[in-house]
Chains A and B, each alone.
Chain A
């Protein structure tokens, strides 16, 4: 059995971490087979649950709205948005940072927790990785349309051309291109490689030739031999090591977009760690938002257990407080720096025309996670779901507050302004969720939603010594 190859490492780590994530009800003797049956059933049943159809209908509707908005922006130009000097970065960049941030939990769960041997990750890592990729796909669209001439995004890449033009490597916006590009590439590789053994399982269980051919193609001839597993594990470890720095680098680089500018409210050294913590915070919240309904509707409750929900709630509580600390520290530094512009910016943030956005953010990001101090709340999936939604709203507002309030009132009162979004702004934001959820729902239906091979490897039955104690 393939999973037993992993047993050695799993045994050691299970002993050291003291966690037994497999806490579901006993499912009889053939637990490995049952996991496979349960996860594969989602793909094998002729019709997914009714909830899937409803969700997919909503997602497709939003996706068409998104498509229409993008089409309108290309046709009409970015005048379709409310962006106007001084607020030249508004919803577009807010949405970009929001979606890139969402992706962070994926890499954290799949790479960092893997290297730290946090085995509970196996139940949710596939989810989180898929979420990462779909979130990065959503994020990538926004700089593409923000440039105003969406047919020229290749100018951002160092491609030799007849204009003799070369990207400006001193610009953090250019660093972004490479940071996000690397991140997307490594995430896709990591996600895809992790799925290969599960694709092979799907291929072997499929009953129609089309499915067999399709899953066979993506399984790339996986047979589960010892040699294949050996190389697979090596490659996985290497990819995890490669992906780990990306957890820190991507959002640090995104924060440089702001931190390297001279604008009060942007020009701070706390931004990189603050952005990374916020990204992990928002990303884990999104994992909860996706995992809670998925485990409910696809009958995976004993694989994604209450224990998992609780652990993720703890991560949210911890990173939420890091974010709260950063909010406080920004105010402290604004006062401590003695710079009147910094001081004004933060006073303006909390009590100026955007105070409503600021206090929404504080409520969502700092106050709402505090509910997780109570174990009862942590272990209630639907409470976790609701807090996840609230935190995502809060994280969107965080980016809006940073971008909007800082730009709207800078050094010169004569150049102050106020950003008023147009309907296209709102619909584009809402529509991007359509793209995200459409991709995610298709993933749920057609791809292995849970890393079957990995989950099996951390179950008690996978331990070499299992059975000796009886």
Chain B
């Protein structure tokens, strides 16, 4: 039997083996870190809705306020999805023959609600309260993006825990006067951080970061 099982070139593979052993954990960590992050898996989620409703048209062009349809945001945890009746307030007279609106009219006739698809869906172990944020000056667009420019609504932010914490730790980057939260083309009166710090002081805004704030 040969004294040497391994051929001479095997010596060179030692460097390769070392690089693999060292590199593989790094590569795997990176792959999972990036591949399984909400940035990759969740951002850009844009489900097909039962009605081709355009926020860009209704909010951007026509200037309807967010709260006209999502009317519970200031008082409740949940931002209401409008019932068919809200649509029919206008569409009983406008575009009454439009084929795009047929599902709405059908819902109106049959009394069966339209099954909208939820875009911004937090995990069940998180409790989020819209009213707590909206009435304190956290703008809609900070979480939902420029909805007034979206033909079809998609998820713009990661909604990850660290994303929540970024704002809870430094809310001055987002705060506005509470009456301006729904304004989509908002420009801060001065530098956002300075203005935000003033508002923090004015309204005494100190968001908690305890586990039990959101996980109850």
Q: Are B37 and A162 in contact (CB under 8 A)?
A: yes
| Candidates B6, B160, B166; contact of A213 at CB < 8 Å | B6
Q: Which positions 119-171 of chain B face chain A at CB distance < 8 Å?
A: 158, 160-166
Confirm or deny: B62 has a beta carbon within 8 angstroms of a beta carbon on chain A: no
Confirm or deny: B112 has a beta carbon within 8 angstroms of a beta carbon on chain A: no
Q: B162: which A residues are within 8 A, CB to CB?
A: 161-165
Q: Are A212 and B1 in contact (CB under 8 A)?
A: yes
Range class of the A interface residue count = 10 to 19
Confirm or deny: B44 has a beta carbon within 8 angstroms of a beta carbon on chain A: no
Among A159, A160, A163, residue most surrounded by chain B Cβ atoms (within 10 Å): A163
CB distance from B209 to the nearest CB of A (A): 9
CB distance from A137 to the nearest CB of B (A): 19
Docked Cα-Cα span, A338 to B7, in Å, equals 75
Q: B165: which A residues are within 8 A, CB to CB?
A: 164
Confirm or deny: A225 has a beta carbon within 8 angstroms of a beta carbon on chain B: no
Chain B interface SS verdict (over half):
helix
Confirm or deny: A106 has a beta carbon within 8 angstroms of a beta carbon on chain B: no
Closest residue of A by beta carbon distance from B41: A162
Q: A160: which B residues are within 8 A, CB to CB?
A: 33
Q: Are B160 and A159 in contact (CB under 8 A)?
A: no
CB distance from B7 to the nearest CB of A (A): 11
Q: How many A-B residue pairs have CB under 8 A?
A: 35
Q: Are A216 and B33 in contact (CB under 8 A)?
A: no
Q: A162: which B residues are within 8 A, CB to CB?
A: 37-39, 158, 160-163
Confirm or deny: A207 has a beta carbon within 8 angstroms of a beta carbon on chain B: yes
Closest residue of B by beta carbon distance from A217: B6
Q: Which positions 176-213 of chain A face chain B at CB distance < 8 Å?
A: 207, 209, 212-213
| Candidates A163, A165, A209; contact of B5 at CB < 8 Å | A209
CB distance from B165 to the nearest CB of A (A): 4
Range class of the B interface residue count = 10 to 19
Confirm or deny: B29 has a beta carbon within 8 angstroms of a beta carbon on chain A: yes
Q: Are B33 and A212 in contact (CB under 8 A)?
A: no
Q: A165: which B residues are within 8 A, CB to CB?
A: 161-162
Assuming A159-B29, A164-B165, A164-B166, is B5 touching A212 (CB within 8 A)? Answer: yes
CB distance from B16 to the nearest CB of A (A): 14
Q: A159: which B residues are within 8 A, CB to CB?
A: 29, 33
Flag B31-73 by CB within 8 Å of A: 1 or 0 each.
Answer: 0010001110000000000000000000000000000000000
Q: Are A163 and B161 in contact (CB under 8 A)?
A: yes
Flag A144-160 by CB within 8 Å of B: 1 or 0 each.
Answer: 00000000000000011
Docked Cα-Cα span, A216 to B166, in Å, equals 53
Among B158, B162, B166, residue most surrounded by chain A Cβ atoms (within 10 Å): B162
What 20 new A-B contacts, CB under 8 Å, besides A162-B162, A209-B1, A216-B6? Answer: A160-B33, A161-B162, A162-B37, A162-B38, A162-B39, A162-B158, A162-B160, A162-B161, A163-B161, A164-B160, A164-B161, A164-B163, A164-B164, A164-B166, A165-B161, A207-B1, A209-B5, A213-B5, A216-B5, A221-B11
The 9 closest A-B pairs by CB, nearest first: A164-B162, A163-B161, A162-B160, A164-B165, A212-B5, A213-B5, A162-B37, A216-B5, A164-B161
| 14 pairs from A and B in contact (CB 8 Å cutoff) | A159-B33, A160-B33, A161-B162, A162-B37, A162-B38, A162-B161, A162-B163, A163-B161, A164-B160, A207-B1, A209-B1, A213-B5, A213-B6, A216-B6
